[in-house]
Structure 1
């Protein structure tokens, strides 16, 4: 039977590495740490990214009784930034290139039972030029360390390696279920079988048994299933599927995966979920936080998903520019928040070795995130990179080979790019305050294809939480102008704004303080005015945000001529003290396509002067 032991506590850490550590039973002057962990806590702002770019050492003692002899021991790393080498008892086992995708290490041949085993992970947090996203300047930081969780899985010699679940024809009465099961090695004898159980809550709603033949290693099982609730953004119904490996009817191994029945389709006239057309309104998310960078626990990851769905009211998030915590994506599954998941990178394409690591990143991303119903689009290009036809044809081919159920995209920042993916994904920064919100889709693509805007605003109007009121309001209005244009174009799948929260960056970017103030929230997840531009567009709960403190001294010549109210209410009644000024309605003139245009208060006197005899 499979056992999982979590290894997140009681690690030893040193901010340097020496070869002699591999032979020592105890590291000198080490620091006790728990995971997730960052190699260096950084200041909030005004710091040099070199302070976390060094080689460090993580050490942990593992001790297992001999009852586990004959089993396989698999170390699972959810994320190590950015290059890792793994050693057990002084022996090198493997390395991993890239900090954003999980990897597994078989430590069985190197492990001694009934005694202490020394696990050492050498972590290189420098920006190695042959690993994506590195090789040139980039507009975010990567920090360093074992910043996601680690576990040890104890399995039988022959065990289940992967389970991939596909749902098709979900709008039919008879829905199609396809399960691809990969064993770690071929079946060597008779009397083996797979038993599959599908659960709705704690109730088994279907059981499938499949006999295995000698040499079976990759098995595909197809079945029809009825009376199923679909997964969508309003009712994200989830099911559990357990695969059991049996030998002579005795349970050898089992794996449980959570999934949902849903189908997605990007068409030239828009995006469809389970056959229903939906306009995608979203924000980009970086996974960084103040001080600790990426090293935040499950609760914080889940909270970001909850903020996006329940407070900001968006229906899609782009994981920019890399795969992010499974805790975040799990919560997206539960909330009905759609996800665009892309490979690590930012503008730069490196040499052939770099490209091979990018392919590895793509493969690890799809394999590890396959069963999440919230993920509707794979990003197979490097964000904002130039066309590279041979490379990107291969990346799209690899993605389709691994997953033929999801569409692919690749984010560009120039028009008429060569399109090998299913969706033309484009960063549209045309809006500068007084012009159109977005370019027409056909002007960008040059032909009728599925089209999704993946960034807007952002660097076009950086706004700090402590900027002047007028600037903070204009920041919010710019987001609304783009959203208004998005709703105007029926053939536009949607628009994903830049971005959810501010983030630390390199010296070439940001406001000179090592922060990009591009978010609708700051790094502490505190709301800017633009936060309410988004939250006011949803219909689940009432929103009414008066975007002014009504302090006239905030404005030139103490002239406050209008106040914006971001709300989803039909109208507002305004009083000055106890005197009624009037009823004000949404601004349908400038924002005629928005679900909920802002309301402008431009009369602060009403009939008060007449009532006083003027």
Structure 2
């Protein structure tokens, strides 16, 4: 059967469970391409022959690995983020007799205009800093010889490259560099097309779609698109296998062989019936594995594997349904930057961010304001976080070229991310931007063209016009109603709240409790080091706003935001995160954690919890707030019961899943506060707060958050200033010096001052497994040491 471009090849359904005896290893490979790069910046920007030779160079090239950022950026500085032109180059060989002859390099992302050269010849320009691109180097590669790949990057302000707005006026930084991983792809000329590179509407790669979903059965549709780069027609067939989490085969289908013309694409449609499927949800994020193999004469010539979750979604006015059941979206926003490294972090670091969001009690995350790393989305799939995927944009609309690039971002985002079960909304809108109606129509249409299904596909935007779901920020309207009186028959989700439309400034609320707060203490922008009164105020701001959001028709909300971050237009840190920029939690983190459960979810999320939002030191107040997801809490002071009570009944807590518990102690006396949470009358969780004594020694720990340290990883290391009993001194600001042995690199100011008793350093692991020995020292304190195993 002949196949021209876009020809549909229909596959026969099969449930064979015995592997074919002709199975062999596929003649295709995706190789790590992240090591042994060289980098230079702030040099002559002209591309000359000398850049492609090792002997002559315009400056000293630094040896780097990917992901990489052009400059380590201080956390707080008067100096703006680095912008300019930089060069990356890599010398490599492709075996003359290896898999091939197709050779390509896939870049996860490059900020934000990339010109790619091989052996002195320019091959491609890519515009846009957040989505992947692939460069086919088959014809220019010298097989068996040394090649030089050169990438010229430009991250200067550019009004045609979304987000488009000059950095000095932007609410976030976009950094620079080859900041996501790269792969060298060696494959047969007949291969599974890359969904983004192919540039085909609803085509390229693998496209998964479910129908008729129920606890009894579900139908999985698998579309595979092949690309034939050979000069002659190729004949192949597709075999698709579905595996459960244990690796057991639960379905298989093998299509009939079909012919694909040279330079063309062939599209294969297959389907599998899953009996009694395990449905994907935030509490039980069950993932199947889909394995697609390309067979020619019985031999595997290409293979792709992806995870998938069986789930149905439906947005309606006043409700969101997951697998037919109503679910309130309890969300947050996330910027992907790290201190010092910007965007250039490991896949494990991406996973740890998702873990922390889940740990904080959220079931939903908005990717503000650009598409995140695929590793972050995979973590959301695995951990059970619903996602709003977003295109780059913030308060800027440019010319026609900008609009074309923005629409291309929409399509490329969907093509890259379309198979993630975690994604329930596509934000095909430029955030807080006055977009023309034709653009919004086109962006909405682009998503539905890329995903041409009658169900489970929803666009969203901050303007109430073309999109399926209206996602304004709460502060886009004013107190006291905000969007609580929204009356249209359209799904409404509040995608931002709690930042600067906060309790202490809202007319009509009782201000007596916080009448003495300074202006700086009344906002939700509170650094962790600003003290417990400020952190309590921030938590109350989020609580009040979240509680009030239940009074209207919104199907959920997402607070602003999860982690503190840096802005392009300001030198300080935007500090309305429920955790700081080093991922250390504030009181508000525990308020949100108390809104989840108690449930028996995976990885321990949602278990019974209790947290005392006080440092219990002489400056603490007699009023003590305790967060818990249990029915009752008993508070004890130095072994004596203060009270055992049920949750608060106030106008700022009357709609919450779990209101806080507010206690009044007789006096602030040194000692131990102990909280015991009860569920069904039985103790379910306990916690303590001890009055800190004199600083005595340091304690070291590193942030695992569900993932052990790996080679080429980056993770946070924390040194706490503690008293003799191990209690953190929340006002300590000692200068701590870190040291590491074992092939690791410390990134950050060193020494660094503790904030709220904790000093933080980034640890970048080396190329090999082993053990890293960490030490931390400070004047007048006993030192600490810690061994970090690298697997």
Counterparts in 2 of 1:582 and 1:240: CA distance versus 1, 3 Å: closer
**Alignment CA distance shift 1:212-1:398 (3 Å):** farther
Instruction: Report the Cα offset of residue 195 of structure 1.
Output: 1.1
- Quote how far apart the aligned CAs of 1:191 are: 4.9
Aligned residue number for residue 474 of structure 2: 428
The residue number in structure 1 matching 2:267 is 218
Say yes or no: does 1:286 pair with 2:332.
no
CA 1:431–1:121 in structure 2 vs 1: closer, same or farther (change >3 Å)?
A: same
Instruction: Find the counterpart in structure 2 of residue 471 from structure 1.
Output: 534
Distance 1:329 1:223 in 2: 25
**RCO higher in 1 or 2 (8 Å CA, sep ≥ 6)?**
1
**Residue among 29, 34, 42 paired with 1:3:** 29
Q: Is the 8 A contact 2:461 2:469 kept in 1?
A: no
- Tell me if 1:586 matches 2:635: no
* Match in the other structure for 2:771: none
Q: Partners of 1:564 and 1:133 in 2: how far apart?
A: 41
Tell me if structure 1 keeps the 8 A contact 2:107–2:183: yes
**Residues 624 and 665, structure 2, Cα contact 8 Å, conserved in 1:** no
Q: CA offsets per residue over residues 287-307 of structure 1, 9 Å max, x none?
A: 001111111111211101111
Q: Distance in 1 between matches of 2:543 and 2:452?
A: 36
1:306 partnered with 2:349: no
**1:481-500 alignment runs, 5 A limit:** 481-489=544-552, 491-500=553-562
Q: Answer yes or no: is 1:45 the counterpart of 2:76.
A: yes
The reply to whether residue 128 of structure 1 matches residue 158 of structure 2 is yes
> Is 1:18 aligned to 2:46, yes or no?
yes
Aligned-pair distance for 1:172?
6.1
Query: Where does 1:213-252 land on structure 2 (aligned, <5 Å)?
Result: 213-215=258-260, 217-252=266-301
Counterparts of 1:229 and 1:551 in 2: how far apart (Å)? 49
Shift of the alpha carbon at 1:476? 0.4
**Partner Cα separation in structure 2 for residue 366 and residue 393 of structure 1:** 16
Given candidates 139, 146, 161, the residue that maps to 1:109 is 139
Q: Hey, what does 1:570 align to over in structure 2?
A: 631
- Counterparts of 2:346 and 2:70, CA distance in 1: 15
Shift of 1:190: 7.1
State how far apart, in whole Å, the 2-side matches of 1:280 and 1:343 are: 21
Instruction: Say if 1:193 and 1:209, in contact at 8 Å, map to a contact too.
Output: yes
Shift of residue 470, structure 1, vs aligned partner: 2.1
Q: Is the 8 A contact 2:425 2:460 kept in 1?
A: no
1:394 to 431, 442, 447: 442
Asked if 1:350 corresponds to 2:398, the answer is yes
**Structure 2 residue 251 is the aligned partner of structure 1 residue 206:** yes
SS in 1 for 2:443: helix
SS at match of 1:184: strand
Count of residue pairs the alignment pairs up: 585
Q: Secondary structure at the match of 2:228?
A: coil
User: Aligned with 2:471: secondary structure?
Assistant: strand
Q: 1:320 aligned to 368, 377, 400, which one?
A: 368
How far apart, CA to CA, are the structure 2 residues paired with 1:535 and 1:223?
39
Superposition deviation, residue 68 in structure 1 = 3.4
Which whole-Å CA distance do the structure 2 matches of 1:325 and 1:281 have between them? Answer: 22
* Partner Cα separation in structure 2 for residue 14 and residue 109 of structure 1: 27
1:79-124 per-position Cα deviation (integer Å, ceiling 9, x unaligned): 1111111110011010111111011110111100111000001111
Query: Do the aligned partners of residues 459 and 290 (structure 1) sit closer, same or farther apart at CA in structure 2, a change above 3 Å counting?
Result: farther
Quote the residue 1:408 is aligned against.
458
- In structure 2, the residue matched to 1:184 is 227
- Structure 1 residues not aligned, in runs of 5+: 555-559, 607-614
Contact 2:165 2:394 survives alignment (8 Å)? no
Indicate whether 1:194 and 2:238 are aligned: yes
Deviation of 1:233 after TM superposition, in Å, equals 1.1
Contact 2:251–2:272 (CA under 8 A) maintained in structure 1: no
1:505 aligned residue: 567
Q: Distance in 2 between matches of 1:365 and 1:293?
A: 21
8 Å contact kept, 1:544–1:567: yes
- 1:59 is matched with 89
Structure 1 residue 148 corresponds to structure 2 residue 173: no
TM-aligned CA deviation for residue 361 of structure 1: 1.2
Equivalent residue, structure 1, for 2:608: 542
Q: What is residue 452 of structure 1 aligned with on the other side?
A: 493
Kept in 1, the 8 Å contact 2:561–2:578? The answer is: yes
1:517 match:
575
Which position in structure 2 is the counterpart of 1:377? 425
C-alpha separation in 1, matches of 2:484 and 2:227: 46
Q: CA RMSD in A?
A: 2.2
Shift of 1:551: 3.9
Distance 1:222 1:70 in 2: 30
User: Which range moves more in the overlay, 400-409 or 163-172?
Assistant: 400-409
Match in the other structure for 2:465? 419
In structure 2, the residue corresponding to 1:455 is in which secondary structure?
coil
1:26-45 mapped onto 2 (5 Å cutoff): 26=55, 27=57, 28-45=59-76
Separation in structure 2 between the aligned mates of residue 553 and residue 225 of structure 1, nearest angstrom: 61
Deviation of the 1:549 alpha carbon: 2.5
Change over 3 Å in CA distance of 1:157–1:575 after alignment to 2:
closer
Q: State the shift of 1:22 in Å.
A: 3.9
Q: Against the structure 1 CA distance between its residues 583 and 134, is the aligned structure 2 distance closer, same or farther, given a 3 Å change threshold?
A: same
Q: Is the 8 A contact 2:240 2:292 kept in 1?
A: yes
Given that 2:112 and 2:128 are in contact with CA atoms closer than 8 Å, whether structure 1 keeps it comes out as yes
User: Over residues 262-319 of structure 1, what are the superposed CA-to-partner deviations in whole Å (9 max), with x where a residue is unaligned?
Assistant: 111111121111111100001100000111111111121110111111x201101111
Unaligned runs of 5+ in 2: 1-26, 194-204, 502-522, 599-605, 669-791
Greater percentage in helix? 1
CA offset at residue 441 of structure 1?
4.4
**3-state SS in 1 of match to 2:542:** helix
Deviation at 1:545, TM superposition (A): 2.1
SS of the residue corresponding to residue 527 of structure 1 reads coil
Q: Is the 8 A contact 1:380 1:408 kept in 2?
A: no
Which residue matches 1:609?
A: none
Query: Do 1:243 and 1:255's aligned partners in 2 also have CA atoms closer than 8 Å?
Result: yes
What secondary structure is seen at the aligned counterpart in 1 of 2:533? helix
Q: C-alpha distance in 2, partners of 1:191/1:541?
A: 54
Per-residue CA shift, 1:461-511, capped at 9, x if unaligned? 31111224222111101111122223344x32100000000101123x4xx
Distance in 1, matches of 2:488 and 2:211, equals: 29
What is the TM-score when the length of structure 1 is the normalising length?
0.91
CA contact (8 A) 1:411 1:427 kept: no
Deviations 1:557-599 (A, max 9, x none): xxx3522222223233333434433223311233121111111
Choose from 653, 664, 680 the match for 1:602.
664
Say which of 72, 93, 97 aligns to 2:123: 93
* Partner Cα separation in structure 2 for residue 500 and residue 348 of structure 1: 24
